[in-house]
Amino acid sequence: MASNNNLMTGVVRTAIITGGGIGGLTAALCLHHFGWHARILERADTLEEVGAGIQISPNGMRVFQALGLAEKVVVAGFLPQAAEMCDGQTGEIMFSTPLGSAATHRWGAPYVHIHRADLLAILADAVAERMPEAIQTSVTVTGYGQNKNRAWAVTGNDKVHGDIVIGADGIHSTIHAQMLSDDKARFTGHAAWRMVVPVERLKGRTPPPNATVWTGKGRHAVTYLLRGGRLANLVGVVECSDWTEESWSARGTQAQALDDFAGWDPIITRMTEQADAHYRWAIFDRRPPPAWHDGRAVLLGDACHPMSPFMAQGAVMAVEDGYILARMLAENPNSDAAFTAYTRRRRDRVARVINTARDNARLFHQKSAIERGPLRMASRAAPSFTARQLDWLYGHDVTKVGAA
């Protein structure tokens, strides 16, 4: 345990966390690390994640290192050799940045690809081991309340009391809606296909063992491997202006997905043909609100700052949030002061990631090779150019005392 205000005062404080996703579970573990107790209220009957992969960059792995879980994440996942960008139709590589051991060397922790269900299981098992009975499923939180000394989550006719309430209930957060009713998430004009395919079905069309961004006009795809290389993950993003909640179905068809990437590299086509399910996702983001808390209630992860996935940082930012929030609570007995310090440390960094992700949409969807020329030339002239561009993000260690 890094520091323990609660044991110093002899009082164990309790956080009520709404939402048992990656953000909520990690926050619970971080709070425990700093001497708090957590209760997690999850709406679903079982803790579950979409059947898709996720990239955890070194700045997120730093938190898992501090929680003693990094080894498990690495063993369950896949370590990509490089981050690369190539043309979606010709496969021509525009730049490649080494990852693998180079990531650990440069940024102090590995870059990992992992199946979301595997990551969630690692986090949930750790919570169950460290705080038995902390997770309650089939509980829908409908709001929060507070007085001078306590806060509570409202669950139908009941209230679950603690010292603070943390809204980690995702993009359509109930806690956010009560706290900041006018601050709605914005549809970015992108929809994402998500597919996972056993590599044995791909017969010579396995994607490279890298984090590969395939670029094209008005669309891009991302491929990578999971579970020691036995599964391949595909995210395919297309620009679309006609999304409405009513017309959106989370499950699309193989024909639609093939049509969206017609004429693309055979790796993309083969993966689309061989996937059992073709999930479609609307992409939203939101500028981080000026205040992230209201008295004893505070927001974290997508509940606060959903972002487009073009930096692969939404979950990683939720993980960083959890660590800083817990550290600020350990350093400040007054929750209001802790939340103010937490927001101050998080807001600019998260805003920069959101803006960079928006810029990436433009970069990945540029119409011609000429528009991407400057990036290609810079990477060829100085191979470490792209790695240097990522130092502020991947090299940041929230577990270091004094780090923002």
Residues at the site binding ligand FAD, with contacts judged by CB under 6 A: 18-24, 41-44, 54-55, 140-141, 168-171, 174, 192, 194, 235, 281, 301-303, 309, 312-316, 318
- Shortest Å distance, C-beta 328 to ligand FAD: 18
Question: For residues 34 and 144, which CB has a smaller minimum distance to ligand FAD in the complex?
Answer: 144
Question: For residues 18 and 223, which CB has a smaller minimum distance to ligand FAD in the complex?
Answer: 18
Q: Which of 317, 341, 307 is nearest to 63 (CA)?
A: 317
Contacts of 17 (CB under 8 A, 6+ apart): 24, 27, 28, 38, 39, 40, 41, 165, 166, 168
Which pair of structure tokens corresponds to residue 56? Answer: 């955890």
Q: What's the rounded Cα separation, in Å, for the pair 165 and 23?
A: 14
Q: Which of 390, 392, 374, 298 is nearest to 16 (CA)?
A: 298
Q: What's the rounded Cα separation, in Å, for the pair 55 and 225?
A: 10
**How many degrees, rounded to 5, is the angle at CA 79 between CA 123 and CA 25?**
15
Question: For residues 304 and 328, which CB has a smaller minimum distance to ligand FAD in the complex?
Answer: 304
- Shortest Å distance, C-beta 41 to ligand FAD: 5
Question: For residues 185 and 330, which CB has a smaller minimum distance to ligand FAD in the complex?
Answer: 185
- Shortest Å distance, C-beta 287 to ligand FAD: 15
- Shortest Å distance, C-beta 8 to ligand FAD: 30
224 tagged catalytic? yes
Q: Which of 47, 366, 381, 338 is nearest to 214 (CA)?
A: 366
Residues β-bridged to residue 373: none
Distance (Å) of CA 101 to CA 46, 108, 261, 336, 358? 36, 10, 33, 41, 29
Radius of gyration of the chain (CA): 21
Question: For residues 6 and 99, which CB has a smaller minimum distance to ligand FAD in the complex?
Answer: 99
Q: Are 277 and 198 in contact (CB under 8 A)?
A: no
Q: What's the rounded Cα separation, in Å, for the pair 215 and 120?
A: 30
Q: What's the rounded Cα separation, in Å, for the pair 162 and 150?
A: 6
- Shortest Å distance, C-beta 133 to ligand FAD: 17
Q: Which of 67, 12, 66 is nearest to 35 (CA)?
A: 12
Q: Are 225 and 80 in contact (CB under 8 A)?
A: yes
Q: Which of 144, 224, 279, 323 is catalytic?
A: 224
Burial 322-333 (b: 16+ CB within 10 A, else e): bbbbbbbbbebe
- Shortest Å distance, C-beta 83 to ligand FAD: 12
- Shortest Å distance, C-beta 300 to ligand FAD: 7
Question: For residues 192 and 330, which CB has a smaller minimum distance to ligand FAD in the complex?
Answer: 192
Question: For residues 6 and 279, which CB has a smaller minimum distance to ligand FAD in the complex?
Answer: 279
Q: Which residues are catalytic?
A: 224
